Every structure is written in C-alpha cells, then in structure tokens.
C-alpha cells in the first residue's frame, strides 16, 4: 500500500488538530472512555500521517515505529526535516498548500 507523501505544513496542521482535540476533550471534562476511544481510534490517523511524512523525506513507513517509540523527539524531527525536492519512490513532491491535507485524507478514505 502506497500511502503517498505529506509535506511539512500539512503534517504540522494535522498534529495541531490532533493535540487541540485532545486538549478540548480534557478541558471539557469528557468521560475517560471518550478520551481513550479518541486516542485509540486516532492511532490509525497518526500512523498515516507519520508514514506520509516519512515518505516525503524518503524513508520507509516502517520507521514510524521508531518515531512512535521516541514520541516527542520523533515528532519534532519529522516536523523539522525538509522533504525531498524531487519525486521519490513514494510519489511526487507534495504541494505546500494546506489543502493538500484534505486530498491526502480523502485518498486514504476511498
């Protein structure tokens, strides 16, 4: 399965949205089962985002296991590392617009 590539800006927006939802759930004092359900379900979302970002920098999606294990350090590294400037074996260079995030997710859902 080829996930494709995800640029830095789309990765940053995706991460900000994820953490904003987590903070909102905590602030709203939702029941623990709702928070845990969101975290469990969003794990798949995070895998797609990490794999897409790793593909953009030219690495295999299997490296996402290391990124998940290192947590914050891996997240910062993925956000800071520039993507490859040319097409690679994972696809074309992703556009820098945030709208690419919508296209990235729409292609994964179909």
pLDDT at 105: 66
Q: Work out how many domains the chain is built from and give that number.
A: 1
Q: Is residue 1 part of a domain?
A: no
**Between the ranges 29-33, 39-43, 70-74, 97-101, where is the mean pLDDT highest?**
29-33
Residue 1 has pLDDT above 60, yes or no: no
Q: Which domain holds residue 58?
A: 8-109
Closest CA to 56 of 18, 100, 17: 100
Task: Specify the residue for token string 């997710």.
Answer: 105
Residue 86 has pLDDT above 70, yes or no: yes
% of residues, the chain, pLDDT over 70? 85
Q: What average pLDDT does range 7-13 have in this prediction?
A: 85
Q: Is residue 69 part of a domain?
A: yes
pLDDT at 100: 67
Task: Specify the residue for token string 């696809």.
Answer: 91
Q: Is residue 77 part of a domain?
A: yes
Q: What average pLDDT does range 70-90 have in this prediction?
A: 80
pLDDT 10s digits, 66-76: 777 777 777 77
Q: Is residue 3 part of a domain?
A: no
Residue 54 has pLDDT above 80, yes or no: yes
2 Cβ partners below 8 Å, 6+ apart? Answer: 90, 91
Q: Say how many CA atoms lie within 13 Å of 83 toward its Cβ.
A: 27
């Amino acid at each position: 399965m080829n996930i494709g590539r995800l640029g830095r800006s789309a990765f940053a927006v995706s991460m900000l949205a994820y953490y904003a939802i987590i903070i909102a759930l905590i602030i709203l004092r939702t029941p623990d089962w709702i928070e845990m359900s969101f975290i469990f379900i969003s794990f798949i979302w995070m895998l797609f985002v990490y794999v897409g970002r790793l593909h953009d920098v030219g690495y295999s999606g299997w490296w996402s296991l290391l990124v998940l294990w290192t947590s914050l350090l891996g997240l910062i590294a993925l956000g800071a590392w520039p993507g490859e400037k040319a097409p690679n074996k994972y696809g074309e260079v992703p556009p820098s617009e945030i709208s690419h995030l919508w296209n990235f997710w729409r292609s994964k859902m179909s």
